[in-house]
Chains A and B, each alone.
Chain A
C-alpha cells in the first residue's frame, strides 16, 4: 500500500457510524414480529419458494439432457474403457450446472450463512455483494462443483444456520440426483463427524482441481484455460483457508484430507506465484509439524488472506481477465 493512501481515523469512522445509527427508526414492535408477517403490503411473498421451484426444474432438465447425451454417445466396442479419472472429469461440468442453479436458489432462499460457507466462500462467489463485477451467469458456466458440494452438505445438516432446512431438501436432492457419486462417501455431519465432511470436500476439491487445470476438459465450460485457472486458484485459496481455519479453531488434529487439500491448492498457486507459494508451503509444513495443542495456524491464515484476497475483488476480476499476480497461468 502506498504511504499516501488516505486512511480514515478512528474518530472519523466513529462519527460516521454514530451519525447513521442515530438516524435509525424505532425498533419494530414485538407484536409485529410475533404476528409473523414480515412482508409489508405489496411485497412479493414466498419468493424463495418460487426460486427453489425454478431451480429444481432446471436441475431436472439438466439431468435429462445429460441422460440423453450419454445415451447418444455410443462407444465403439473395440475401444478400451475410459480411465477412471476421465469418467470423473466428465461428470463434473455436467453436474455442476444443475447443482449451481440449486445452490444459487438455495442461497437466495435461506438468507443465511452456514458456518462452513460463510465469509467469502459462497456468499462471495454467488451473491457477490462484496465482489464488484461478479457475474453469476459466468459462475454457472464454470460449474462450481466443490462449492456446490459444500453448500449441499452444509444445508443438509440440521444444526447449521438459521432455518429453512426443510425447504432446501428438494434442492439437495436435485444435486444428489445430478451427481450421486459426489455423495458416495460417508454422509457428512458437523461435530463428531466433521472429519468425514473434510474428507468429502477434499476429495471433491481434488477432482475439481484436476479438471480445471486440464485445458482440454475446461475449455468447453470456460472462456479460457487461464481464466479458469484463476478461478480455481481463488477457489483453492478460499477452500484451504476455510479448512485451516476450521482446524485451527477446533483443535482437531491434521489429517491426510487437510494435507491433500492444501497440496492441491499449493499446486495451483505454484503456477502463478511460485516464490510466495514456496514460503507458504514451508510455513504450512512447519505449522503442521507442531503438536496439536501447540499448533498455531492463525499467522498462516492471515498470510493467505493477505495474499490471495487482497481487496475482496480477486475471486472474479470485473473484466474477466486473470488477476494481476497470476502471471504464470497463461498457456
Chain B
C-alpha cells in the first residue's frame, strides 16, 4: 500500500519504531520517547499535514526539530546553572543510556543534531545522499558536508579514546 493511502495511525505504526531509533540517535535513548511524541504531535497538528506530499520526511523533520529543541533547552539550562555557580553534576549514564558504551556516547555527543540525523539515515536506514537530502529538506552538498564532518569528529574522538 502506498504511504499516501495510510491513515495517520497506520503511518505511525509503520514508522514509529524507526522514528524512535532516529530520536535516540539525535538526543539519546532516555529522551527519545518524549521527543517522538512531541515531534509527531507537532506534525499532526500542523495545518500543512493534510496537504504535505512527503509525510514520512515531514515526520522525521518534526522529530529532529523536537530533538533540537530538547538539546537546546538542556544547553540553556546548563548555562544558567553555570552562571548561578551550580556545580555540574557528573554525567552519569542512567536508564537506557547504560546500554550504550561510554566511548560510543562520547563520539555521538561530538556531533551536531543534524550530523547525527544524517549519519542515522545513511548508516541505519541505508539511504543514499539524495534520499537523505530529500528527507531532511537540505541540499545534497550539505549532506556530504555533514557526513564528512561527522566522520572527522568521530575519527578524532575514537583516536583520542584509544
Q: Which residues of A contact B (CB under 8 A)?
A: 1, 5-10, 12-14, 16-28, 30, 32-34, 36, 38, 40, 108, 111-113, 115, 118-119, 123, 127, 129-130, 158-165, 245, 249, 298, 301-302, 305-306, 309, 311-312
Contacts and interface: CB of A to CB of B under 8 A. Distances in A.
Nearest to B115: A130
Given A108-B69, A119-B138, A158 B47 contact: yes
Given A23-B100, A24-B32, A26-B20, A111 B65 contact: yes
A21 B119 CA distance: 11
B127 to A, nearest CB: 12
A13 B119 contact: yes
Nearest to A248: B139
A7 to B, nearest CB: 4
Which of A26, A38, A249, A302 has most chain B Cβ within 10 Å?
A38
A20 B36 contact: no
B65 A23 contact: no
B23 interface: yes
B43 A28 contact: no
Q: Is the interface of B mostly helix, strand, loop or mixed?
A: helix
Given A18-B124, A301-B141, A13 B20 contact: no
A312 B62 contact: no
27 contacts: A6-B152, A8-B150, A8-B158, A13-B123, A17-B123, A19-B101, A19-B104, A20-B24, A20-B25, A20-B100, A20-B105, A21-B120, A24-B21, A24-B32, A25-B33, A26-B20, A27-B36, A38-B37, A40-B34, A111-B62, A123-B68, A129-B68, A160-B48, A161-B46, A161-B48, A162-B49, A162-B62
Interface string B62-86: 1001101101100100000000000
Nearest to B68: A129
A27 B48 contact: no
B44 to A, nearest CB: 7
Q: Is the interface of A mostly helix, strand, loop or mixed?
A: loop
Nearest to B108: A20
A129 to B, nearest CB: 6
B138 A33 contact: no
A85 to B, nearest CB: 35
A113 B61 contact: yes
Nearest to B147: A13
Contacts of A306: 145
A127 B61 CA distance: 16
Nearest to B138: A119
A16 B108 contact: yes
B56 interface: no
Contacts of B71: 129
Contacts of A9: 151
Which of A21, A119, A298 has most chain B Cβ within 10 Å?
A21
A300 B72 CA distance: 32
A38 B66 CA distance: 11
A12 B154 contact: yes
Given A30-B13, A32-B37, A163 B46 contact: yes
A32 B36 CA distance: 11
Contacts of A33: 12, 37, 40-41, 44
B99 interface: yes
Given A12-B155, A111-B66, 14 more contacts: A13-B154, A21-B25, A22-B99, A25-B32, A26-B17, A28-B16, A30-B13, A33-B12, A38-B38, A40-B34, A160-B48, A162-B43, A162-B45, A163-B42
